[in-house]
Structure formats: C-alpha cells, structure tokens
A and B are shown apart, each in its own frame.
Chain A
Amino acid sequence: AQSVAQPEDQVNVAEGNPLTVKCTYSVSGNPYLFWYVQYPNRGLQFLLKYITGDNLVKGSYGFEAEFNKSQTSFHLKKPSALVSDSALYFCAVRDTAGGYQKVTFGTGTKLQVIP
C-alpha cells in the first residue's frame, strides 16, 4: 500500500528566508509525486510533480522540490518566502506498480510566513 507522511503540522518562516516543507513516501513501485497548495476556503491547486528524470523539479510561484529516492523524500522548497505563500500544503503520491492506483495525500503542512 502506498502512503505519504508530512511530519510537520506547521512550519513558520520569516519573509525572505528560504523555506522547506518535508514529505516522505512509501510505494511498491516507482512513485509519481505531487505538491498541492490550498488557500482558505478554496480547493487544492497543483504546484509541481515528479514523474521521472531530473531530481529537482520546478513548479509554480517559484517553488521547487527535490526527489531523493534513497531517502524516499520529496521536500518542497523555495529560496525566498513571501507572506502570500502562507497556506496549507499537501504532498501526494501515486504508485505505478500494480496497475490502477489512486492518489494518496499527506495530512498537510500549514506554512506561516511571518512579515
């Protein structure tokens, strides 16, 4: 069975500082990995995805994520945080083994960027 863990319920970072939101996963085969962001009272918006290839993936709004197969991690990063980045972030995984697989989401990490 596939699973995703986001170990931090909340991350606080000062505006202008780099930010990291952590994600680890477990799958049987190769993973498809995703990051989504959710603003209050809104649906989830896609940020970026890793399918194959370069381990550093760039996405929307200046975010990037690094795939690390040995550590089974897919941490979300941004070099300089903005107050407007404050939101709820979800990591998600889809296993490519065993045919059809649903997307499994982590529990979410609330990012608070402090002015």
Chain B
Amino acid sequence: GNSVTQMEGPVTLSEEAFLTINCTYTATGYPSLFWYVQYPGEGLQLLLKATKADDKGSNKGFEATYRKETTSFHLEKGSVQVSDSAVYFCALTSNTGGFKTIFGAGTRLFVKA
C-alpha cells in the first residue's frame, strides 16, 4: 500500500540556520505530494504541493522538489525563523489509492532565537 516516511524529530535549530526535513514515499500510480504544517494551537494547513515529477513546490521560503527516481520530497528552507516552529507533515494522494491522503508521522521543529 501507499506510505510516507519522514525523519523523526524533534529538530532543533538556531534562527537563520538551514533546514532539511527528509521525506520518502511508496505509492502506486502517480501521486501528488504535499507538505502540511501545524503551528501551535492551530489546525493543519497546506504549506506546499507538487503534482508531478520534477515539480518544485514553494511557499513562505520553503521548497520541496518531487523526485520520482528517489521517491523523495524533502522540505528545505535556507534561513529559518522562530515563527517556523511547528510540526511538519509530509503527505501523498494517489489516484490509485482511492484519493485518500496518507500522512507521515510528522516532524517537530523548534527554532531558537
């Protein structure tokens, strides 16, 4: 079946550090890939998405590239801020998986001033 694996947290960084959160997936068909973010006290919200191989999703300084050859969708940001502290979820939706979105376990990010 379809699945998503992302690096365990927590990840603790100083402000302005470079961020990478690894995500790999297993899926049949041609999945769409997503990163969702959950800020403290708030609901899950879409951060970025990519719908086909080699697409790059970007938003708020975050980027992720859909790599079909390595089945990966790693999240990166060049300079994190304290306000980026949150839990980040990698997810996929496959058109052969009944259109349900499958989530990874989440990676908690702490950014220190």
Please indicate whether A and B come from the same complex rather than being unrelated chains. Answer: no
A residues apposed to B, CB below 8 Å: none
B residues apposed to A, CB below 8 Å: none
